[in-house]
Structure 1
Amino acid sequence: MPHLLSEFRLRDIALANRIGVSPMCQYSSVDGFANDWHFAHLTARAVGGAGIVFTEAAAVSPEGRISPQDLGVWSEKHFEPLARIARFIDAQGAVAGVQLAHAGRKGSTYRPWSGRGAVPEALGGWRPVGPSAIAFSDSYATPVELSADRIKALQLAFATAAARAHAAGFRAVEIHAAHGYLLHEFLSPLSNRRADDYGGSFDNRTRFLRECAAAVRRALPEPSLLFVRISATDWTEGGWDVDQSVELARRLKTIGVDLIDCSSGGNVEKAEIPVGPGYQVPFAQRIRREADIATAAVGMITSPAQADQIIRTGQADLVLLARELLRDPYWPLRAAQDLGYPMPWPAQYLRAAPAGAPERTPAHELD
């Protein structure tokens, strides 16, 4: 069996393979609610054979959205349409995951195809918040510095959303602490200039995330999985870097985090990033080795052979795909064919499957 298609077990939850659907913003919600688009988008990837399927970044508070069209989870009602999605993903034998997020100073911006920069309050925008009153760029609004009380309130919001996600059928929760959004902003000295317990030293800058992860872990029952996505480096001198990421991963492991999802960048507008195939995989490899924690690799992973090599050589435990799964929702099934291993197909699609492909048994029929 190719390593990419082997089972991966964390706690008492088994992923059927090492392929995951990375969180991908769809900018298609109204008032934060999931709709038919989200159902079609996410369930197609579960039918396609991914082992774990994550929602897009779901904001834990209204001002935590990136755009006014972002997914939200700040109320119990938001989980009603999400529960249907989780049930369908589970029935396909995949693990349903939700990514909890807060955009911080990068909130209240236009979705990509509608414009650039800050959305005025008159057009549905809001005043963003951050660790310090430092704008991301000239076209972004200057955020309001969060008070310690509001930090505690947001930690509670993350934990409450996690508990609701579990109740709705999601077996994995990921905390989004990457790409220049709120939790990443606290980590980086380039965006965090605070002089209190949440700024300055490494211990202080990582405090918000560590306390948030601990609160979320307490809100989840033991079998639930907890991932944290980080940007392993700001790609800028004097910013957050991979050495700090390794130490952070060590501390998150002691809190009960199961896996570090290793991305990079997003906190500095004009950072020079050496983008290329697998350019972020070394971060996953180093954190896995030095922090002794499971990792996911992301970023320009496109071919089955490339993905299999990442798992086979111990660079990461999972590969999370984004753009490649937008191009082909059935990439896992194609990968299995390319790697010469018969992966189970849905019974409804068996007539199109390669010879010898087994039938996928829906989870609700397994005893």
Structure 2
Amino acid sequence: MDSARKTLTNLQPAAIKGRGSASYLAGRYEVRTAHGEDDGWGSLYEDADAVSRPDTRVSEETARSIISRNDSPDIAFGQSLNPYRGCEHGCVYCFARPSHAYLELSPGLDFETRLFAKVNAAERLQTELARPGYVCSPIALGINTDSYQPIERRYRITRGVIEVLDACSHPFSLLTKNASVVRDIEVLASMAQRGLVSVYFSVTTLDNQLSARMEPRASAPHARLKAMRTLAEAGVPVGVMVAPVIPTINDGEIERILEAAHAAGARAAGYVLLRLPHELKQVWRDWLQLHYPDRAAHAMSLIQQMRGGKDYDAAFGKRQRGEGPFAQLIAQRFRKAWRRHGFGRLPALDTAQFVPPRKPTPQLDLF
């Protein structure tokens, strides 16, 4: 464990500019943790600069497999692909944060500062799509971690994946918080003409200040709406996800977000209630207490009312929407705004055009 992480583990959580989490919360699978003790000479605070400005480190890894399968009844896709592990966007509410515990890393600051790039993602994808038993169904990109997070500018792994999908006419959908998706507008527009792609933007708030606190390295709300409009005008089917909906923080914006997204070209919409699995419970409580101490207790009370008295209920059918009167009110408000603006469903993606890529061989294209 580096000295900055050890130091911050000891200190009270404090807001860090450009980061969502405020601490190196230990993961549930860590077999060893470090705890610093001040010797009276201030040695515990020698790395104050490193603590207040944690850097981003990216490790390159070779993935053994790249397509993940899903059989959850409340999730609309059966296959997904994540080019990266961890996410520099730093969204404090991200339900994927606890996945870093499997790496013996912190679901707190490590999740947004210790990233992993699957540099062979495009190659593995081509191999898996070429398998004789592969059955084509749409692949969802960027579900656990954003495919267009800032390090994509350097690694271009998502671009490589899209090029493989384009070459074999395989349908896919995208979910992102980053306006840099428009970098790939030419290939996205071309695939959209063939009914092979749709793009959803996650818009949590229209308030720039709240966005900067809650999702510090994601694109600003107005930039996401601009990117949404650009893709829609290019013929790419676009939708919006109001996710997550958080009581006392952004639940009052549901109607405004849907109105702005529809004006920007979104024609489908959905929402997800805040989810707090595993270590995320504490990450979220720390953030609430730091930024909204006046409403922290009330916010958690409402969250627990929608989760059967607990911080989180992972049961299928409940984890996305919650239960109880307040959850029902959110659902009713969303449904009314959805109808008022004329949202519907995006066109179904076409799986019939898929042509399996050639299985890579040492002979390459000689035969």
Fold-level similarity (TM above 0.5):
no
TM-score when normalising by structure 1: 0.38
Of structures 1 and 2, the one with the larger relative CO (CA 8 A, separation 6+) is: 2
Q: Over alpha carbons, which structure has the higher Rg? A: 2
